[in-house]
Chain A
């Protein structure tokens, strides 16, 4: 016998729909007949394409979430943000230094932050967005990289920021600079790159490339992982 699911009311882009309880916002949109072309991606909470703002019934707070991860509640009003029109500077990492001056040049809006914390409240990843912007203002680029590590670049912070800061692009630059200039260098990596360039693994890669899928799967799950 088919299980009958309870239906709840949600407002999608201003229109009232009844959708099955327990649906994610994305499931609700598709159930209601919306064909998603933008604002949809991996459907697993990793890609950050489905940033959405919503209000729950009886709550005055405007909240942010990922459509693929947020479960609808009765009376919820939802608006998808399919694209964030952010200004994005181009740069060559080789020309930059990992300090505050780089951000003054490329992202001067960072210094407009008034510490309202709206960005943090909008973040579906629970990142302390304001804290990493503040870390950059005081030149602590590595800390900004660390705090922002889980950012999936959905852009909700930038959409809500009254100072028009593009936080997620700022954070991306902080992580790039940290990776290139501030993190501890790994001598093992240099050694392995040399080995790769010298062709040490060519034979093995060739063997894997020509392996039938079932055998490859078996090999993959039986692989040995060495952590030294």
Chain B
């Protein structure tokens, strides 16, 4: 199965381990994620102002690339655009929805690109890789697991952008199960916890790091309280905050117990028996190997 794929800027810079592990896992289960030939920043974060249409040009240009790939027969009748980064998923989905629901806005955007691009027809469907996995089937996926994550206690962290707003949520906004289903499929133990859709502090990490320390500590304490040994995520910004900020929290608070943070695709890769060098574990800040070695997974 060939699917057009939008990486986003972060997967090419600070989250290379997310991309490499995701592409390897997709390949392992017979999916080919084809990176758009040309793409631009998704436009993050999605503009909430109703009269600032220009901010939606960036997403629409990326949708046009999917239209082109179909026209050039690089893919066949495939309007889904796969994303990995939760933030890109959120931004692209919201823009696409706006274009699909507001023909006047779509016309204005198309007029802006007159003589430059073809018109966007609103046909693209922005999907997250997790949804693609669900569609693939967790039973089928379980049959591909050769290295089950036996006894590994994993807390699934959704953060904000996969679930909110409700209209573009990949699962039940209040009680999501998608990542938990994946965790179970990989042979690990699902941790039910309270903080799975709490905010990590997001961009406050740039100039208000104290807020991030407080929120991240709350999230990790909650995971630990419920017995988790690892947290998985699908958002490079959440991963940055959860992973990188832990050593600073530890400096402030000696009792703080750190926890390794993985992209869900990294643990999937371990379970599917993918070579470690494709999973980019060396980029994870809190030692990702100790737990895997303890459980004899690597």
Contacts and interface: CB of A to CB of B under 8 A. Distances in A.
B17 to A, nearest CB: 14
A139 B12 contact: yes
Interface string B50-84: 00001101100100000000000000000000000
Nearest to A59: B115
A59 to B, nearest CB: 10
B91 to A, nearest CB: 12
B262 to A, nearest CB: 23
A131 interface: yes
B9 A114 contact: no
Nearest to A113: B41
Contact of B43 (A99, A114, A130, A138): A114
A78 to B, nearest CB: 21
A155 B116 CA distance: 21
A115 B9 contact: no
A152 to B, nearest CB: 22
A20 B13 CA distance: 54
A191 B115 CA distance: 51
Interface residues of B, number: 19
Contact of B41 (A99, A117, A137): A137
Given A115-B58, A116-B54, A139-B12, A134 B41 contact: yes
A131 B55 CA distance: 17
Nearest to B62: A115
A138 B9 contact: yes
Interface in B1-23: 7-9, 12-13
A117 B43 CA distance: 13
A134 B12 CA distance: 12
Interface in A106-155: 113-117, 121, 130-131, 134, 137-140
Interface SS of A by simple majority: loop
Interface string B145-170: 00000000000000000000000000
Most A CB contacts (10 A, CB to CB) among B40, B41, B115 go to B40
B225 interface: no
B12 A114 contact: no
Contacts of A121: 116
Contact of A138 (B12, B55, B61, B116): B12
B110 to A, nearest CB: 13
B252 interface: no
B58 A138 contact: no
Contacts of B7: 138
A207 interface: no
A179 interface: no
A139 B55 contact: no
B54 A162 contact: yes
B116 A130 contact: no
A61 interface: yes
A115 B116 CA distance: 13
A139 B9 contact: yes
B5 to A, nearest CB: 14
A61 B113 CA distance: 11
Nearest to A136: B9
A183 to B, nearest CB: 20
A8 interface: no
A139 B54 contact: no
Contact of B61 (A115, A137, A139, A140): A115
Most B CB contacts (10 A, CB to CB) among A61, A116, A121 go to A116
A100 interface: yes
B115 A130 contact: no
A138 B40 CA distance: 9
Interface string B184-212: 00000000000000000000000000000
B43 A100 contact: no
Given A114-B43, A131-B38, A134-B40, A140 B57 contact: no
B226 to A, nearest CB: 37
B13 A138 contact: yes
Contacts of A115: 40-41, 43, 57-58, 61
B88 to A, nearest CB: 12
7 contacts: A113-B41, A114-B54, A114-B57, A115-B40, A138-B8, A138-B12, A162-B54
Given A61-B115, A116-B112, 6 more contacts: A99-B13, A113-B41, A114-B57, A116-B57, A134-B39, A138-B12
Nearest 6 CB-CB pairings of A with B: A115-B58, A138-B9, A138-B12, A139-B13, A115-B40, A134-B40
